[in-house]
Structure 1
């Protein structure tokens, strides 16, 4: 997504921002995801099959939405890498710019942005999450649990 900074802000504004660090820190430029941050995020989302950008860490989520994502992934018994956006302001803003999604947490599966808490919960509830995990070679524990439950029901019916 290339654009001309001078064209968007005007040449005089751009020149002033580039010359003044104080002005740049308070400008719209600060909100743009830098190339180095975008490169870092691009590498992070591909480092594992499931990557979560959250507030806090899985052992200590620092918001209810991040906690909900952790709980859903825990129910499925999947491994994932988690990145605490509260520890890095550039990452916190950069991930929002990278995905064009305004909220945290954010979940990536196989390098692709899936969504935030609400979308992951919906996928969990309607079974789509199990399907998405299977597409990338991850078997959910819930599949095993469902198979075991069906086996128990079949055994009970056979005994009757």
Structure 2
């Protein structure tokens, strides 16, 4: 692993540790820059879940680093309590089945009125 990749991995680990729900995405929650990222943001906002974001478009190192970190080829990538959940398709399927709400409830991040 290169020094650059090690530094990026440290940043990723720090972001995940600092945010119970962390989304690595293209753009940010106010201005998603791809439809897949926008969809995950909409789901999290619909569930009224506080979440952190990291814009992978700001850094080629971060964009490639997050893919290497999880060995997952696509963005966005959602983490809950330090665990990789998945990308847009998985998050959408989990939301439709109610599984995402259950996961977020178990993680203690859903506000009252959900779960």
TM over 0.5: yes
**Aligned residue number for residue 98 of structure 1:** 69
Aligned equivalent of 1:51, options 7, 13, 22: 22
Residue 52 (structure 2) pairs with residue 81 (structure 1): yes
Residue 63 (structure 2) pairs with residue 63 (structure 1): no
With normalisation by structure 1, the TM-score equals 0.67
CA distance in 1, matches of 2:78, 2:30: 17
Aligned equivalent of 1:127, options 92, 98, 102: 98
Offset, 1:139: 2.1
5+ long unaligned stretches in structure 2: none
Offset, 1:114: 0.3
Q: Per-residue displacement from partner, 1:26-72 (whole Å, max 9, x unpaired)?
A: xxx7xxx7111111111111111100000001111110000000100
Does the Cα contact within 8 Å between 1:53 and 1:105 map onto a contact in 2?
yes
State the superposition RMSD in angstroms. 2.0
With normalisation by structure 2, the TM-score equals 0.92
Q: Which runs of 4+ in 1 moved over 4 A?
A: none
Greater Rg over alpha carbons, structure: 1
Does the Cα contact within 8 Å between 1:76 and 1:142 map onto a contact in 2?
no
Aligned residues between the structures: 115
- Do the aligned partners of residues 58 and 135 (structure 1) sit closer, same or farther apart at CA in structure 2, a change above 3 Å counting? same
Greater share of helix: 1
